[in-house]
């Protein structure tokens, strides 16, 4: 029997959604190549000595009903304690750690904040906010202008500047104001005040959260065993329906015949053997930079130059299993081991390199084998090849432990029981430099009618899982309907509304 095939590059959320949707909607067989040895991409869950790490902490929340239903059809909401394959509904708590104290996130104007910041600083924040209200920076040329216009200069210098620069590795004056518009769209001091008041009187449901600004979302779904559990279940279904998946296979070049894309060459990373695989359709979630490089001389010189310079931000997370936190009255801990109640904590201090601290127990207690221990993820934003990236795993782990002690969160290094360092290259597609000319790459790739770019690095979009899934869904729609116009795929814009926050 002959059937059509779709070659899918990458078994992350976008690739796996594309595979399952193709199977649900057509007889086209998905053949997936994944360079890692597990599924889920950036949304994978890494197992380490029985404990599980979520890279980044993945909230499952979307303004798209299609995505919400899709997830819950794979993993239904928790029914009973015994159910293994289910979603938990979690409450969000994330605070800011600054001046060795905990602050609400988003910063709220309450007694606690005033006490922590002190009257003098609060007064200066108020004056500078009022000043900005009367004399805003116009036009808004960069992210610094964006922040100052919404929060005043003092609050910007106190809470936004250092952290943003830690995350992106460039000064706020070099970042476009659209970043701010996308990431904290609609948030301002007045909205934060209104939110604080409303919060006192209303109960948040997942449904009415859809109307809430992203940064304020307070409840979300979360797979019992981390985000990777959902993508592992999807993989089971794809394989049951006779899809194919090869791990540790890197797509390294593309085969064209008379300008038509006909196949790919994959490298088996274990045996180092290469093989050519032919197909009818190609769905790529690999980074655009690598995709264009893998096309050799086919793309025009200008396209190759723009792609070669596309910027990314890379990411390291250090997992630490600890006995207890140092006693810190402000952590509001309900535990004997002083574990703070937060899912994650923004580390605003500028005398350390760590950007965020995840507390995996609070995402799902099932990520941790021993409920008395605290399972942490210390997140570092960096650049592939920079001094931090170049550290050995041992040195990274030592740095992470030393910073926890310096921050006054751990009493000493003897409280650390287990550790692991994980590097995530190209975790963030960035919108600097040659990205301004990204449309030229798109115009070229759109001419290859049977090639679909989907997902985060696949389209160079700073997105969440829901965006990746929707782009995959629409690519499948194009293939199944025979209408190969990719406009619909590029138009998916849930990411304008909802992002993992930085």
Sort strands 94-98 and 344-347 into parallel, antiparallel or unpaired.
Answer: parallel
From 146-154, 301-309, 458-466, 476-484, span contacting ligand FAD (CB under 6 A): 458-466
What character string, x for contact with ligand FAD (CB under 6 A) and - otherwise, covers 412-431? ---------------x----
Instruction: For the segment 250-279, give every residue that binds ligand FAD (CB under 6 A).
Output: 250-251
d(CA 464, CA 10): 16
Compute the Cα dihedral for 316, 320, 325, 331 and give only its sign. Answer: positive
From 41-49, 147-155, 178-186, 440-448, span contacting ligand FAD (CB under 6 A): 41-49
Q: Among 459, 466, 463, which residue's Cα sits nearest to residue 490? A: 459
User: Three-state SS for 346?
Assistant: strand
CB atoms within 10 A of CB 50: 10
Q: Cβ of residue 226: shortest distance to ligand FAD, in angstroms?
A: 12
d(CA 181, CA 496): 8
**CB nearer ligand FAD, residue 189 or residue 352:** 352
Query: Residue 33 forms beta bridges with which residues?
Result: 9, 246
**CB nearer ligand FAD, residue 324 or residue 442:** 442
From 199-207, 254-262, 457-465, 476-484, span contacting ligand FAD (CB under 6 A): 457-465
**CB nearer ligand FAD, residue 156 or residue 452:** 452
What character string, x for contact with ligand FAD (CB under 6 A) and - otherwise, covers 204-243? ----------------------------------------
Cis status of the peptide bond prior to 312, with omega within 30 of 0: no
Please work out the total of residues on this chain that contact ligand FAD, with binding judged by CB under 6 A: 34
Quote the tokens at residue 404. Answer: 């926890």
Write down the residue that tokens 């001046």 correspond to: 99
Quote the tokens at residue 110. Answer: 């309450």
What character string, x for contact with ligand FAD (CB under 6 A) and - otherwise, covers 463-482? xxxx-x--------------
Q: Is 9 in the site for ligand FAD (CB under 6 A)?
A: yes
d(CA 425, CA 499): 19
Interface residue with ligand FAD, options 285, 331, 361, 419 (CB under 6 A): 285
**CB nearer ligand FAD, residue 251 or residue 367:** 251
Q: Among 243, 241, 226, 247, which residue's Cα sits nearest to residue 11? A: 247
Q: Cβ of residue 269: shortest distance to ligand FAD, in angstroms?
A: 9
Q: Is 292 in the site for ligand FAD (CB under 6 A)?
A: no
d(CA 360, CA 54): 8
Query: Residue 253 forms beta bridges with which residues?
Result: 265
What character string, x for contact with ligand FAD (CB under 6 A) and - otherwise, covers 56-85? x-xx--------------------------
Number of residues that make up the chain: 502
Binding site for ligand FAD (CB under 6 A): 9-15, 33-36, 41-43, 56, 58-59, 250-251, 285-286, 290, 315, 427, 455-458, 463-466, 468, 500
């Amino acid at each position: 029997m002959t059937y059509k095939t779709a070659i899918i590059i990458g078994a992350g959320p976008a690739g796996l959604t594309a595979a399952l949707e193709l199977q649900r909607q057509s007889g086209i067989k998905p053949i997936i190549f994944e360079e890692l040895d597990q599924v889920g991409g950036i949304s994978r869950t890494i197992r380490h000595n029985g404990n599980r790490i979520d890279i980044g902490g993945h909230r499952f929340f979307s303004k798209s009903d299609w995505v919400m239903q899709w997830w819950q059809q794979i993993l239904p909401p928790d029914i009973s304690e015994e159910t293994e394959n289910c979603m938990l509904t979690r409450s969000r708590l994330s605070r800011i750690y600054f001046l060795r104290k905990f602050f609400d996130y988003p910063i709220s104007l309450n007694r606690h904040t005033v006490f922590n910041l002190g009257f003098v600083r609060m007064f200066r924040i108020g004056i500078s906010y009022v000043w900005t209200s009367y004399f805003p920076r116009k036009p808004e040329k960069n992210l610094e202008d964006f922040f100052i216009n919404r929060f005043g200069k003092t609050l910007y210098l106190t809470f936004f500047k250092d952290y943003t620069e830690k995350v992106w590795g460039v000064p706020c004056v070099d970042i476009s104001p659209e970043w701010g518009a996308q990431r904290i769209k609609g948030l301002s001091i007045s909205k934060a005040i209104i939110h604080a008041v409303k919060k006192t009187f209303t109960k948040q449901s997942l449904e009415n959260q859809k109307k809430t600004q992203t940064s304020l979302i307070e409840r979300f779904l979360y797979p019992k065993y981390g985000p990777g559990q959902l993508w592992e279940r999807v993989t089971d279904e794809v394989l049951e329906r006779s899809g194919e998946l090869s791990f540790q296979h890197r797509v390294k070049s593309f085969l064209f015949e008379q300008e038509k894309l006909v196949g790919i060459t994959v490298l088996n990373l274990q045996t180092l053997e290469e093989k050519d695989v032919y197909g009818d359709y190609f769905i790529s979630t690999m980074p655009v930079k690598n995709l264009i490089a893998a096309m050799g001389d086919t793309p025009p010189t200008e396209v190759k130059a723009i792609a070669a310079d596309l910027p990314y931000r890379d990411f390291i997370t250090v997992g630490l299993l600890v006995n207890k936190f140092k006693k810190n009255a402000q952590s509001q801990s309900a535990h004997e081991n002083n574990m703070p109640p937060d899912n994650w904590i923004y580390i605003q201090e500028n005398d350390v390199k760590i950007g965020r601290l995840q507390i995996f127990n609070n995402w799902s207690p099932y990520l941790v084998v021993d409920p008395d221990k605290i399972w942490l993820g210390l997140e570092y934003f960096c650049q592939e090849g920079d001094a931090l990236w170049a550290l050995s795993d041992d040195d990274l782990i030592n740095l992470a432990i030393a910073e926890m002690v310096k921050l006054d969160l751990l009493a000493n290094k003897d409280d650390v029981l287990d550790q692991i360092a994980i590097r995530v290259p190209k975790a963030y597609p960035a919108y600097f430099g040659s990205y301004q000319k990204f449309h030229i790459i798109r115009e070229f790739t759109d001419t290859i009618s049977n090639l679909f770019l989907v997902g985060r690095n696949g389209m160079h979009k700073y997105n969440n899982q829901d965006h990746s899934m929707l782009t995959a869904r629409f690519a499948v729609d194009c293939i199944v309907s025979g209408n190969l116009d990719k406009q619909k795929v590029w138009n998916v814009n849930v990411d304008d509304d909802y992002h993992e926050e930085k």
